[in-house]
């Protein structure tokens, strides 16, 4: 269980998958530890993980670390039961497949085109640019009419929030947890000011915030819940969408055959258009190889390593005793490299996803599972697909070598991933 208070958190964060493999070699696929401030059972057993993910009603509720809950607040990932159903309904009404198709798609395309318009001849840090794009796209769907200065006030706080969620909950000035709490307070203050200004105005807003504040919404929320939704949407895009975007370009740069097929798909779509005609939702849904690139990048990079649950009573599963109140880390990373599910698992192979049976396989946990399937899945796929469409039809790129990449607990290139861009 490691040291008092800190447990094995340091080894867990520093060594990541190697820590897991070492523990598994000693103790088997299910073992106990103490990480991120709590006694925790880690499960690397795919069948047990699937059972836990599909049986929330049997005493296996969300159990994210204290730092994550304190900094992100009460949100769709932390609640369960009727509250989860209501919050999930609200968020799906904002960014589920129907909302993306009918409300968000044209604006997203416009924003991506604008964002990628002037990169010719530049050297960019794609890690930074992808984070900026993901955050900007999400921000503009929530706050469509707010000024650039509001955006500039929000954005710096989210790197602090992300870093704080994976820290020990020690509230001392200078710690990532303390800095994350301060960033949360600033975001709450900014959000309250915007909500107050809108309430004092007769202007009708058609963005996500306007929808949440509307008296006609099917899923009414109080101001605290609205602010939690804002933080959830902005944080989700900032971390996951940006990293998949970055890794897609990295893998494509190393596989010219895949890049050529991706370009052919997108130039084929453009070839069916009149001059100046925009791509449509139907064009997006036809991007089968693009979807394969995104799913393969998500699998191979393992942007999400697992999810957490908490027991509400003593349980016995597969012969293991799970004490009441302990957290369970459902570690799904290893199944992404299972050669039985993914032949040649370390090879970038977008073609494998053209077999739709793989996407629906019972051990495919890329977007979660059960009632916790990621509600922003479609929005994320659209954002990345539109970026790839704009990028590969405009530019070629050269990756500048030598940057070290950290893959756990979050994918990160400490010094940035720099690309030299030129016109295609």
Binding-site residue set for heme: 374
Q: Give dist(CA 130, CA 376) in Å, integer.
A: 17
For the annotated binding site, the residues are 374
Instruction: Report the C-alpha gap between 61 and 77 in whole angstroms.
Output: 10
Structure tokens at 16: 């990541």
Let me know how long the chain is. 424
Q: Decide: helix, strand or coil at residue 145.
A: coil
Any idea what the Cα angle at residue 310 is, between residues 309 and 312, rounded to 5°? 140
C-alpha neighbours within 13 Å on the C-beta side of residue 68: 18
Question: Residue 355 and residue 383: Cα distance in Å, rounded?
Answer: 23
Query: Mutual orientation of helices 288-301 and 256-271 as an angle, nearest 10°?
Result: 150
Q: Which of 161, 142, 153 is nearest to 238 (CA)?
A: 161
60-62 and 38-43 strand pairing:
unpaired
Q: How far is CA 410 from the centre of its chain?
A: 11
CB neighbours of 403 closer than 8 A, spacing ≥ 6? Answer: 413, 415, 416, 417, 418
Please report the DSSP string for 258-283 in residue order: HHHHHHHHHHHHHHTSPTTPPP-HHH
For residue 21, give the nearest of 42, 51, 50 by alpha carbon.
42
CA dihedral 325, 326, 331, 332 (to 10 degrees): -20
Tally of CB atoms within 10 A around 243: 22
């Amino acid at each position: 269980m490691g040291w008092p208070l800190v447990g094995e958190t340091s080894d867990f964060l520093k060594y990541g998958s190697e820590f897991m493999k070492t523990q598994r070699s000693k103790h088997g696929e299910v073992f106990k530890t103490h990480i991120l401030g709590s006694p925790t059972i880690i499960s690397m057993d795919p069948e047990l993980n699937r059972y836990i993910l599909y049986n929330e009603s049997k005493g296996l509720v969300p159990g994210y670390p204290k730092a994550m809950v304190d900094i992100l607040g009460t949100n769709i990932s932390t609640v369960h039961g009727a509250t989860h159903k209501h919050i999930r309904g609200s968020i799906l009404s904002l960014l589920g497949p129907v909302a993306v198709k009918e409300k968000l798609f044209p604006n997203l395309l416009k924003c991506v085109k604008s964002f990628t318009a002037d990169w010719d001849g530049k050297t960019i840090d794609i890690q930074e640019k992808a984070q900026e794009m993901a955050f900007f796209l999400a921000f503009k769907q929530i706050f469509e009419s707010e000024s650039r200065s509001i955006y500039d006030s929000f954005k710096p706080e989210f790197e602090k929030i992300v870093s704080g969620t994976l820290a020990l909950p020690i509230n001392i000035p200078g710690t990532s947890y303390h800095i994350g709490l301060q960033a949360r307070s600033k975001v709450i203050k900014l959000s309250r000011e915007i909500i107050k200004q809108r309430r004092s105005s007769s202007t009708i807003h058609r963005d996500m915030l306007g929808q949440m504040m509307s008296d006609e919404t099917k899923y009414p929320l109080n101001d605290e819940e609205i602010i939690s939704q804002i933080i959830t949407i902005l944080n989700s895009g900032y971390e996951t969408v940006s990293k998949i975007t970055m890794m897609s370009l990295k893998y494509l740069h190393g596989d010219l055959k895949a890049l050529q097929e991706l370009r052919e798909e997108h130039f084929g779509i453009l070839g069916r258009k009149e001059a100046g005609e925009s791509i449509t939702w139907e064009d997006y849904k036809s991007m089968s190889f693009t979807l394969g690139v995104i799913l393969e990048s998500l699998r191979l990079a393992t942007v999400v390593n697992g999810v957490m649950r908490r027991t509400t009573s003593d349980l016995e599963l597969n012969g293991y005793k799970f004490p009441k109140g302990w957290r369970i880390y459902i570690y799904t990373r290893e199944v992404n490299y299972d050669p039985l599910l993914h032949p040649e698992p370390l090879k970038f192979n977008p073609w494998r996803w053209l077999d739709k049976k793989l996407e629906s396989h019972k051990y495919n946990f890329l977007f979660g599972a059960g009632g916790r399937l990621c509600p922003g899945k479609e929005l994320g796929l659209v954002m990345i697909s539109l970026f790839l469409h704009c990028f590969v039809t405009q530019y070629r790129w050269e990756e500048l070598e030598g940057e070290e990449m950290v893959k756990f607990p979050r994918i990160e290139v400490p010094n940035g991933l720099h690309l030299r861009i030129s016109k295609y």
